[in-house]
Structure 1
């Protein structure tokens, strides 16, 4: 009879642990997906920003030597990602193809300028910084004019800020939901052992001594749940990278490191804090209150 009861208790305990692990894994998987979206949103935003160029039109009297020196100096600037030089002759051919006729025959001379397209690093693609660059280049002796799409830059910056804000809000909300769900699972697990906690307390065990095994057990379950969540996240990342390689998910080791670290740290902190307060609650209850 005793053996049958012990076997029942073990099955019940394993079932409780299993449900806690699955709950933690599912919640951390959801948090991991949101974290991945948040981290990669910055990557996508930077990719879009880096397609923006500021064009410098050079004066006709700039010599080839001075032009080459100027291009080399631009490449050394902290704001430059890459530059593309377009001669006035090449620009004329391109424009003629676009309009479908050779406009040089009507004008007799080429009115276009030699141009340098500077593709900026993402951090410099803001209305304020690009305006500073514009004012700086207009003072340059080699530059006759500066051109870039100001309305596009303003709209791009505004939309990126708006999207980033709402992503943070959504991630914060679901992060809070995740903490509540994991906390509820752990509290239910500890609730089934409330009489054991009170018995240990009645025979003289300190609160710290009683809490310690519960905390370690919950942390172990949390780490197992985190590993399961990371395996599922790995599968998602693999298939997303396969169908959308431009996101560079597998090659982005920094993002993957943040993701793995974030999931493991979240599992550790949430399980530790939840178990601490759950055991503390039952330690502070009177014996007759355990039945409610």
Structure 2
């Protein structure tokens, strides 16, 4: 990896025009993450993990057409295994690591992990951080996908950026839908609009599967789920899933533009994102009879939820002792 050749000029060209200092910081983190992920893949550390979230969406699908995303989100891959093993290996590989112009560290506070970046490009390096999350395994079989090519990648030298194990796009979308059932993160609204308006890149999405996954994610958020040492914890009681409410006009009062900031230039308005969601997610209202019951997020419907989870495509949850 001695062929890495990055200068201040390369950072400037990778920064969105008009994004200012915050955008420059995001561009530096984006590059540092690329090099880190390549290194971890080469060590085999990522074999036990599945890439997910907004950063996976940008790097492996959207490229420069998407927003910058600073957090690194993973799921452990094996259902029934203790996810702490994968997290321990990840932290051990990252803390104190140096790759090219970057040095990496890991900070733990109250059970939450943060990845830190030091670099040689000048400016204030102390504030460059990413949240580091390891979540329970995906329900659908992960897929392999490579980076969307960008000019900056030519400066990374060898080896080429690898294919990564990533959560299937329908499940990534469903998790964002579930979050938007209880809050209005502007980043999730932006990502959902991008995913539904870029079919040449994403391919044809299975809307019925997205809806079913979203309903089940909301149910599990409210009630929890176990399989061996794997636990999808109960953490978000209610509200029940009401498609009409979900498709509402989410006004500026519940929309935080700072949630996107310089990560997307220009920053879309609440009205623009709300209209996009109402236009492209009308299929969420086409609930099947069992989905209508599960949408109420009641514990009494656990047997129905377990049957629905066990029959998801790929069968990952079919014989793992769900309860």
Query: What interval of TM-score do these two structures reach, taking the shorter chain for normalisation?
Result: under 0.3
Structure whose alpha-carbon radius of gyration is higher: 1
More strand by share: 2
Query: Normalising by the residue count of structure 1, what TM-score does the alignment of the two structures yield?
Result: 0.23
With a CA cutoff of 8 Å and minimum separation of 6, indicate the structure with the bigger relative contact order: 1
More helix by share: 1
